[in-house]
Chains A and B, each alone.
Chain A
């Protein structure tokens, strides 16, 4: 497998009022293969979000090289970065960052419209994705009419809309309760596997990080030896989904709020099965 992200000798420091520099990342090297999910964990303030922002072209490094799909991004101009973002990248953050004036479906359509797709095509793809995240009945709802979990599901669908090569996620479940968080985590991982998209996840949640194919630990501005993990297959994912569905049915039946969650998982499962 080729590397989708290659970071070499990356350093990032911020100037301080005392003319000294606050060094966040120092000579960091990191390679992530295409199509896997990778988590980056570390203590608060260790620079994991800064690393993600630099990798996602949102922040310029002090020095070093960042290549996405073999192309150096640290020296790209605005036009090249726009092309990169709308064609190859997806983003999910702690707050869903949805457009307030748009409804759920329109938010998912946006990356496609920006990419240059027609409204008709964008709507078709958005409908597929909103169905995948189980919010078809909420498609016309404005953002302020959605719950936190629903907003994150829309954000996940939006991040997948333009079929990106790589999705950057920074604490995507950080603001959700445990139950919702667990559900969103599983959904995100299941969908990126189905779409064969690379996921780079920054989180302080070790349980979530462990669910990814690879886990990296960031300490003192450097990546420590990554833990070797077995990469999950679609079959593993399907088994997980079945277990999760059974658990939900046993715990809460199929009547209430969780019913929709189960449906989503089962529909994801069905899609995965079709892929097989």
Chain B
């Protein structure tokens, strides 16, 4: 029986049906490539945004400055920072509410330098140095080395104006994060807000350490700590929604693929009507015929899924070049996306995609191949 199966399979795959199967292979491969690329894009971008929020926003975890966390071995670094809201005045009467973030000199270490690009001014000033984002610089029309006025309410019902020197313009690549964020020396915030300055400790965890595990550990030790996704709840929800939307799109595509594979199977049976009837006349059972066609279609489906995943992964590594090209086009709608990030291949999700597509194809092909049962050798007599 093995010889028979092999011969029948090779005839289906490499003879008259090969064109149909080839076009099916190409179409499924293209669909899977697009699925892989979109999955890699969303996952990598989400990881990139998370990393930026952790490094420039609130750390992985935020806790009170009063807590001593130096003894925890899962912590990569912790920084005491101060924050306060203010109003920034640019040129041409443009103003913008901003968030002042006071940090130490050592704050922009190599880790942070890896996610932002800072242009520093060579000039020196007696004014307090600040770092504004490229987005804010464009909004306020303030350039590197120029002065920026900020006014803060220091909590005593008094406005505190301060003229600052734009020592650096940074670009995190993500407008949502940096459009309100101004970095300055922690001393400036102490000067502006006096005793009302808000201070907290930003904690960066070592690679591979789960935020939830760290929170549990702190909780066990009586330390109140907040993960970044609680502090940046809206953003986190947006990321979750994006992932869920992509998953819905994926499920819709999987169903469509199932429908397509099912129609390929039906088409294959339809065009093999005569040969199926002849084989039945010679004594081949419907079960064996269905199994042979099932194998042929599933081999093509599996090959196309694996090709799609392979090409999808390979193309993913070209994605940054493409995104870089897009970012240079100054398309306004793209400014809300993070276009520079490390590529992460979500192997678990790709496995899920593979299994889902396989299950859908198995079910749809199985149902479609029932048509083969209805083909009887007597059909040949009517054609004779």
Contact = CB atoms under 8 A, between A and B. Distances in A.
Contact of B381 (A78, A84, A93, A106): A93
B252 interface: no
Q: Which of A59, A89, A113 has the most CB of B within 10 A?
A: A113
Contact count band on A: 35 or more
Interface string B49-92: 00000000000000000000000000000000000000000000
Interface in A57-116: 58-59, 78-79, 82-87, 89, 91, 93-95, 97-102, 106, 110-111, 113-116
Contacts of B94: none
Nearest to B377: A58
A102 B383 CA distance: 20
A85 B283 contact: yes
Contacts of A49: 381
B303 interface: no
Contacts of A97: 278, 281, 380, 384
A223 B4 CA distance: 41
Contact of A113 (B3, B378, B383): B3
A193 to B, nearest CB: 23
Contact of A79 (B16, B285, B384): B285
B1 interface: yes
B11 interface: yes
B283 A82 contact: yes
Contacts of A114: 4, 279, 282-284
B125 to A, nearest CB: 84
A93 B1 contact: no
B60 to A, nearest CB: 62
12 contacts: A53-B378, A79-B285, A84-B283, A86-B283, A93-B381, A99-B278, A99-B279, A100-B274, A101-B15, A111-B282, A119-B3, A122-B3
Given A53-B378, A101-B275, A170-B384, A86 B282 contact: yes
A93 B277 CA distance: 13
Contacts of A94: 384
B286 interface: yes
Given A97-B278, A101-B275, A119-B7, A59 B378 contact: yes
Contacts, number: 75
Contacts of B383: 95
A49 B380 CA distance: 13
A49 B381 CA distance: 9
Residue picked from A99, A106, A111, most chain B C-beta under 10 Å: A99
A95 B282 CA distance: 15
A94 B383 CA distance: 10
Interface string B263-284: 0000000000011001111111
A247 to B, nearest CB: 32
Contact of A93 (B3, B279, B284, B380): B380
Contacts of A162: 283
A158 B15 CA distance: 21
Contacts of A79: 285
Interface of B: 1, 3-4, 7, 11, 15-16, 274-275, 278-286, 376-378, 380-381, 383-384
A5 B11 CA distance: 36
Contacts of B377: 58
B7 A113 contact: yes
Contacts of A89: 283
A118 B15 contact: no
A99 B16 CA distance: 11
A92 B277 CA distance: 14
Interface in A21-62: 49, 53, 58-59
A94 B384 CA distance: 7
A100 B282 contact: no
A27 B305 CA distance: 59
Contact of B384 (A78, A93, A101): A93
B384 A100 contact: no
B4 A58 contact: no
B375 to A, nearest CB: 12
Contacts of A101: 11, 15-16, 275
Given A97-B278, A100-B275, A122-B3, A115 B384 contact: no
Contacts of A100: 16, 274-275
Given A99-B11, A113-B7, 16 more contacts: A58-B376, A59-B378, A82-B285, A85-B281, A86-B283, A87-B283, A94-B384, A99-B275, A100-B275, A101-B15, A111-B282, A113-B3, A114-B282, A114-B284, A116-B4, A118-B3
Nearest to B14: A101
Nearest to A118: B3
Contact of A106 (B7, B283, B376): B7
B16 A113 contact: no
A116 B1 CA distance: 5
A91 B127 CA distance: 103
A115 B285 CA distance: 11
Contacts of A93: 380-381, 384
A111 B283 contact: yes
